[in-house]
Amino acid sequence: MSTISRLPGIVATDHVFQLPLDHSAPGGEQIEVYAREVVACGREKDDLPWLVFLQGGPGGKAARPLGRDAWLDRALDDYRVLLLDQRGTGRSTPATRQTLARRGGPQEQADYLAHFRADSIVRDAELIRHRLLGADKRWSVLGQSFGGFCTLTYLSFAPEGLTEAFITGGLSGLGSSADDVYRAAYPRVVSKNTDHYARFPQDVEAVRRIAAHLAGSPATLPDGGLLTVEAFQALGLMLGGGSGSGALHYLLEEAWVEGPAGAELSDTFLAGVQARLSFAEGPLYAVLHESIYGQRSVDQVGTGWSAERVRKEFPQFDALAALESGAPVLFTGEMIYPWMFDTDPALRPLKETADLLAARTDWPDLYDPARLAANTVPVMAAVYHDDMYVDTADSLATARAVRGLRTWITNEWEHDGLRVSGGEVLDRLIKMARGEV
């Protein structure tokens, strides 16, 4: 029986679906996939079109609304919204160090997680659509970031389920390998570092001081994690959001405190760093991150810890060399590195599993270029001109490859524009779909 709850301005209904782990073997092992239906108060019985939201990630659960929050406020003007906890996340059958340990050794865990990519997520969504709406009714989809990647997979393999598609910061390169992605990403990250240090020039020396300290003595985080120089550089993930540069600056401001033996890194700083770096709440992001680019037709040798390999082509990210030369120490971006499975307690038990996934060479293709070229589903996409996470050139090439896809290219928002724009980004895309822009 579905549970119904009420929050300011909304009525939410819980749905739990039993779905196949492997969609090619529907009679085999089943997992649970959870979704929260949200509708505006007073419209519970209205015959509204449905909008399914595909969260960014990978490995991210859907937002937990406290009312008519952010983009959801705009969506509820027109739609009944389904917030999907993608398989392995949130209230769906979880995939964490704790649950995966019950499945056996690293090979069994890797084989299990091979079913947690965009193709499986889309097939989950289609089965859910059939059960909620019926096979003859379509719904709209909104894909943010990785959710946009999933939307392109949806358009490739099950466009018959869609009325329209909205994509925000999520037009992936259809034929880009992981190496291609990171070769394009590192220069964008350099640019974000340059912008940050221009905005907060005092941070150049602040970052150098922290990096020098960690180079001599890595710090222990409150959860037992290890803060090395490389882990400190990974805070650059923050630079991809609209307010991330300011948040990073404020974090650095409180880095030091005078202890009995002199200056030491403060508990406030270490707790703030842990909150930014720990994968305890979303380990799938780290474990599956590079696999979202794996496609048999693009790369026959596997992703192979691409971010780590490609980083060597960009020596400006070598913190120790920067400390020696007097150059600014650069932060990295959303790259996942194998050493994270040593420094983060939530990832340590999954190290061998992640290695096996990185070595996998038989990832099926996620996109059908021919079907996308003949697409008939209206697609509206926001492309953020200065997006640190998703390459603009890749996004525009994909836009040209998908028939009927219209783009709104903007530098008003960063990658998190959907969340922080107060509904403005989604409103623009809806108006584009209605011919009002």
By annotation, the residues acting in catalysis are 145, 362, 415
128, two tokens: 């859910």
CB neighbours of residue 386 within 10 Å = 16
On whether the CB atoms of residues 430 and 74 are closer than 8 A, the answer is: yes
Distance of CA 385 to CAs 150, 199, 394, 412, Å?
21, 19, 11, 9
Task: Give bridge partners of residue 31 from the DSSP assignment.
Answer: 19
Half-sphere exposure of 406 (CA within 13 A, CB side): 15
CB neighbours of residue 157 within 10 Å = 19
54: nearest Cα among 32, 85, 77, 76: 85
427, two tokens: 């409103």
119, two tokens: 């193709």
On whether the CB atoms of residues 151 and 165 are closer than 8 A, the answer is: yes
CA distance 108 to 101: 10
85, two tokens: 């906890």
CB neighbours of residue 257 within 10 Å = 12
On whether the CB atoms of residues 276 and 331 are closer than 8 A, the answer is: no
